[in-house]
Structure 1
Amino acid sequence: MTFDYVIAGGGTAGLVIANRLSEDPSTNVVVIEPGRDVRDDADVLNVDRAGVTYSPDLDWKFKSIAQPQLGNRVIDHPAGKALGGTTVINGLYYIRGNKAEYDAWERLGNPGWNWDTLLPYFIRSEKFAIPAKAQGEAGMSYLPQYHGESGPLNTGHPSHVENGTFYDSARKTCEELGFSLNPDMNGGKTRGFGAYPKTMDRDANVRESAARAYYEPIDGRRNLKVIQGAVKRIIFEDGDGGKVVATGLEYTDDKGHLMSVTAKKEVIISAGTYVSPLILEASGVGNPSILARNGITTKVELPAVGEALQDQTLWVLMFQANPGLVGHVPFAAFATAEDVFKSATDTVEAATREKLASWSEMIAKRLNGGVSAGALKQRFEIQHNVIFGQKSSVVEFEFFSVGNVIGIVFSPTLPFSWGSAHINAAGEISNPEVDPNFLSIDYDKQVALEVGRIARKIWSTKPLSDLAGDLIVPGDAVLPENATDAQWAEFLTSSCVPASHTIGTCAMLPQELGGVVDPTLKVYGTANVRVVDASVIPHLISGHTSAAVYALAEKASDLIKESLATGS
């Protein structure tokens, strides 16, 4: 079978690309995705089960290598295994992040990639349900200039909102602690307290996955085909100018047969942060030492493939809800370094700046020689400026209530503890060797401790404290209200889990900074291979990655169309 564009992965980005490229009826597109089509699965559609793993066949459940800094724990890493990718199992959060974090993409060497250039793509992708009167009274606010109303992706607030005690108490408590009301967390500034939309069809009250948004409306196009299969490698041949040319993909179909498809124009890898680097490595693109130990011949020497994986950690505090609790609308609070460190902020800023070089050396040793300490230091300097100079948010607090339980999730958003994802010794692309390297930098542990204390303080401050009874997770015996540093450290290392906002393993950067793709998302050393998914994002955002990936893929679609028109 021969197609113009062959896409490896039918997740968030892959389906956006497939939709936009197949708008031209003369262009033939194929998507190869190992997961099933679960658009009509009742559990997947059920918004009340958001964030719950439904069955093993919908979640890859990748596992990390043992983490010595976490007591040798092995960490589960969820990833969606279905048409629509992780959007079929995620928590539905739609929070884009801060302007400064997107602007950092451009500062890192990617012209044209910043908040202002991405905002039109956020708007183009979105079909925002304007809050109804009752929703507005329940705290659902928005600023219209930041939202689209005619895009493929339904976003909105749940209809069953209540202007109840939970929202009012949380808002008043957060204001008491200095977090003022934020009228729209998707306007490029997340700091403050407010309600956020979800990726859901509000009126139908169902999950909005990438499959429902970008594939379902066009699944009858004759020039678009979806094949259930697992990509094994890119098929390369030598090209002009020292660049290899991709002629197609090799994959195993749903019956285990080895198959291939031919690409006349481009191969696009959209398999996600864990798997996209593995497909490159299996194809001979990566660090020669890693390829050699897996018996793979190097075709393109690109040492940064799989390196500088970044993700956020999160923790949960759960309390027994007192009688009288009313309301369960989605809302959150974001805090800056000044909110966390207060009068000590300048001291922390100076102390951490002095440590950037040593942190870079430490992380470089963990990254298989793929990214130099000097490159990491330059990237860390920009992140340090985003935190302290641009005053971006460094922590997210998410409030929730489920039955007779009420609580908070807290997650530091801009860590310096970076890791990697590589092909394993057996060469299995479906089983990456993941090293998240969580909490390996002292600053990250310090932030986690401080924001944990703030989370505990939120629940001991009126009026929110009136709604909460005993701490039931992890329990007062483990984490009393006046817990010591040692008790906090034990809790943090023993119970951290990924926020699943993983990025960076095929970073869009100059090669000297650890780049894998250029600003057009083409893989260095190849003539016609692009990576389009969260793995190309070079700098974490204080938000939720799926929102960023929708916009990134929309922009990437235009870049591909432009290159087709110009022949570049």
Structure 2
Amino acid sequence: MVYPAAILTFLLATLAQSLPQKQRADKARGIITDANHVANKTFDYIVCGGGLTGLVVASRLSEDPEISVLVIENGNDDHEDPRVNDVRTYGAAFESELDFNLTSTPVPWQNDTGLLLVAGRTLGGSGSINGASWTKGDKTQYDLLPVLTGDDSWSFDALNEIMLSIEDFHEPTEEHIAKGANFTSEFHGRDGMVQVSFPRGMFGGIQVPALEASTAIWKGLGIVADFAAGLTNGATIIPNMIEDNEDQNRSSPFTVYAKDQTQQRDNFVILTGHRVTSINWRPGKDMAAEGVNFQACRSCEKHVATTKREVLLAAGSLQSPQLLELSGVGDPEVLAAAGVPVKMASPNVGKNMQEQTKNTLWFDPVSTDFDGTGPPNAIAFPTVNQLFKNNSASLYQSITSSLWQYALDLKASGLVTNATATHLILSAQVNNLWKDSAGAAEVFFVTSPATGQIGIDLWNLIVLSRGYVHITSNSSWDHPEIEPSYFGHPFDLGVQLAAAQQSREIFQTAPLAAHVASETFPGLETVPQNATTEVWEEWVKGTFTSVWHYIATLGMMKEELGELWITD
């Protein structure tokens, strides 16, 4: 699944470095495709990328009528396309014109082919083609952010106020409740713009039996009312970002924050069908952004727009580092190899990438009467202690005792720039999983009317592996090299194996077992009932995909820990 992922914003200039205020910025409005309307003009803010973060920031900035905002987006306005507005079509947009169609470096266990790395190429970005699930991470993990950044505004309580303010939650109906929906009122907002509701066509079928079977497999895991409380260990049915009507259209970053606003304000304009190719810098040592270069295609005319205040980099976890490196900011060795002159050495750019891995098990059901049209929304989050059981304590000792050496190895491999900061983050992640009982894996129960099957998607939530994304040429039209380093740490594979093996057990456990006719993938011929760990490992490595939740390629920490100055 693709959830609203971490999409990057990067403030590249300061108000103090803006042009004199008497030079008024140009204003424009609406969604346009003709670059001539904005080329060679000046805006207060230029936003590179019209995805989740880009549109939210642009919309909020343009609330001030004296502030002009230009957003440049490579994709188009596709909000009426069923692949976008109907969340039940999840996956139909992948590998289409709505996707950048990026790939990873070759994966040795999958015939040295690269894996698909989905990134939304449309207004709203990946927030317009993802699973539209509405939930929150674990409170204890949000509360680690102030420790690493030195900024208390990143705590769960502080961020939760913002999350509540943007939400317009619609309570489940009696029919929803009869199918297992639940909620806790205090954990939801009612006055925001993001529409959150349970699907009108919410599945009955296997969803509640699946949750109940999960509690039987994972000791101590219970069915909880609402993950929005910030406590993830449990199983529940979650709402979606969809409108509460018969059409149940997606409530996307574009429809919520930009569709009407660009028509109502004369200071908010979005140029679609164009790509920012690099950032221009003002002369001086402080590296303030002067503007951007952009074009519609590799051979198309190049255009320039300038800024009075700031350029905001919001091109996503995979393409924001690419754009920064193309602009001369990054590891000097990477830039030199790509033929890009160094404007500012910042070796951390593009490193420290973290990405999850997903496997899927499929089953033929006893009945294809799924009691609904979807989308599916039943999930569970087991902890490391529930997954590894009696081996959990020894695994913790093994991981923590070797974590410093692992951080040193990552630095030596060029995957991170600061071993001390990396060790701090790794230690925080490991201790959070073991000491705070945060969810270690996600299992998402799938009902597919299209194929007549039921199944389970499973992935590791917190990975210790570290990868990178870097340019290999000086052209924005060439895809970057993306190395997620799948299963780069044994813990990541261990979680995946345990979750896969125990997911099969869930489908063999009452009351869910009564709904299952047979397992079709991997199937008992491929992975026998009492298969060894080696057999499971071969299947997991040979069939996993990315989860498309890339993070941390442009990180922010306390300066003394990482000398990182980019907001992720």
Asked if these proteins are the same fold (TM beyond 0.5), I'd say yes
The residue type equivalent to 2:353 in the other structure is: L
Q: Whole-Å Cα distance in 2 between the matches of residues 483 and 467 of structure 1?
A: 24
The match for 1:27 is 67
Structure 2 CA distance for aligned equivalents of residues 237 and 36 of structure 1: 30
Tell me how far 1:147 sits from its aligned partner.
1.3
Contact 2:339–2:474 (8 Å) recurs in 1: no
Report which stretch shifted further, 398-407 or 37-46: 37-46
Listed one character per residue, the Cα deviations across residues 37-81 of structure 1 (whole Å, up to 9, x for unaligned) are 111113321221023326621001101112347663411101000
Partners of 1:410 and 1:38 in 2: how far apart?
30
Q: CA deviation at 1:483?
A: 1.7
Q: Is the 8 A contact 1:12 1:84 kept in 2?
A: yes
Aligned-residue CA RMSD in angstroms? 1.8
SS of equivalent residue, structure 1 residue 108: helix
Matched letter for residue 278 of structure 2: R
Secondary structure of 1:206's counterpart equals: coil
Q: Distance in 1 between matches of 2:112 and 2:561?
A: 30
How far is the alpha carbon of 1:428 from its aligned partner?
3.3
Look up the equivalent residue of 1:86 and give its one-letter code: S
1:399 alignment partner, SS class: strand
Q: Cα distance, 1:207 vs. partner? A: 1.6
Secondary structure, in 3 states, of the residue corresponding to 1:56? coil
1:168-567 equivalence runs, <5 A: 168-177=208-217, 178=219, 179-203=221-245, 204-220=247-263, 221-228=265-272, 229-239=274-284, 242-253=285-296, 256-323=300-367, 325-327=369-371, 329-367=376-414, 370-403=416-449, 404-425=452-473, 427-428=475-476, 431-514=479-562, 516-517=564-565, 521=567, 536=568
Q: Structure 1 vs Structure 2: percent identity of aligned residues?
A: 28
Q: Distance in 2 between matches of 1:468 and 1:515?
A: 54
1:51 correspondence with 2:91: yes
* Alpha-carbon shift at residue 87 of structure 1 (Å): 1.5
Letter in 2 for 1:502: Y
The number of residue pairs the alignment matches comes to 516
**CA distance in structure 2 between the partners assigned to 1:155 and 1:517 by the alignment:** 34
> Which residue of 159, 163, 171 corresponds with 1:130?
171
> Taking structure 1 as the reference length, what is the TM-score of the superposition?
0.87
Check whether the contact 1:278–1:429 (CA below 8 A) recurs between aligned residues: no
| Post-superposition offset of 1:402 | 1.1
Which residue number corresponds to residue 542 of structure 1? none
**How far off is 1:373 after superposition?**
2.7
SS at match of 2:310: strand
Q: Deviations over 1:242-296 (max 9, x none)?
A: 3111111111136822001111011100000000011111111111111111121
Q: Given the alignment, which residue of 92, 111, 116 partners 2:151?
A: 111
Q: Secondary structure at the match of 1:273?
A: helix
Letter in 1 for 2:384: A
CA distance in 2, matches of 1:480, 1:114: 46
Change (3 A) 1:54 1:336: closer
User: Which whole-Å deviations, capped at 9, do the CAs of 1:353-399 have from their partners, x for residues lacking one?
Assistant: 0121232233323435x513333212111111111122211001100
Deviation per CA, 1:194-225: give whole Å up to 9, x if none. Answer: 00111111313112221111111312111001
**Structure 2 CA distance for aligned equivalents of residues 366 and 496 of structure 1:** 24
Q: 1:326 to 1:58 in 2, by over 3 A?
A: closer
- Which residue is 2:36 aligned to? none
- Does the Cα contact within 8 Å between 1:4 and 1:28 map onto a contact in 2? yes
- Judge conservation of contact 1:71–1:493 (CA < 8 Å) in 2: no
Alpha carbons of 1:88 and 1:515: their partners in 2 closer, same or farther (altered >3 Å)?
farther
Local SS of the residue matching 1:397: strand
Contact 2:277–2:475 at 8 Å: present in 1 too? no
The aligned residue for residue 541 of structure 1 is none
Q: Distance in 2 between matches of 1:431 and 1:514?
A: 27
- Is the contact between residue 469 and residue 482 of structure 2 (CA under 8 Å) also seen in structure 1? yes
Contact 1:238 1:244 (C-alpha < 8 Å) held by counterparts: yes
Which secondary structure state, in structure 2, belongs to the residue aligned with residue 345 of structure 1?
helix
Distance in 2 (CA, whole Å) between partners of 1:267 and 1:385 is: 37
How far the C-alpha of 1:434 sits from its partner, in A, is 0.3
TM-score (ref. length: structure 2): 0.87
Does structure 2 retain, via aligned residues, the 8 Å contact 1:155–1:200? yes
8 A contact 1:43–1:54 mirrored in 2: no
Aligned partner letter, 1:118: L
Judge conservation of contact 1:319–1:473 (CA < 8 Å) in 2: yes
SS at match of 1:136: helix
* SS of aligned partner of 1:58: coil
Which segments of 5 or more consecutive residues in structure 1 lack a partner in the other structure?
Answer: 522-535, 537-568
State the distance in 2 between where 1:31 and 1:423 align.
23
Residue 341 of structure 1, CA deviation: 1.4
Whole-Å separation in 2 of the counterparts to 1:200 and 1:62: 27
1:382 alignment partner, SS class: helix
Separation in 1 of the partners of 2:477 and 2:144? 31
**CA-to-aligned-CA distance 1:140-180 (integer Å, 9 cap, x gap):** 11112221122121121101235x44233223212323321
Deviation at 1:184, TM superposition (A): 0.5
Q: Does residue 65 of structure 1 match 2:110?
A: no
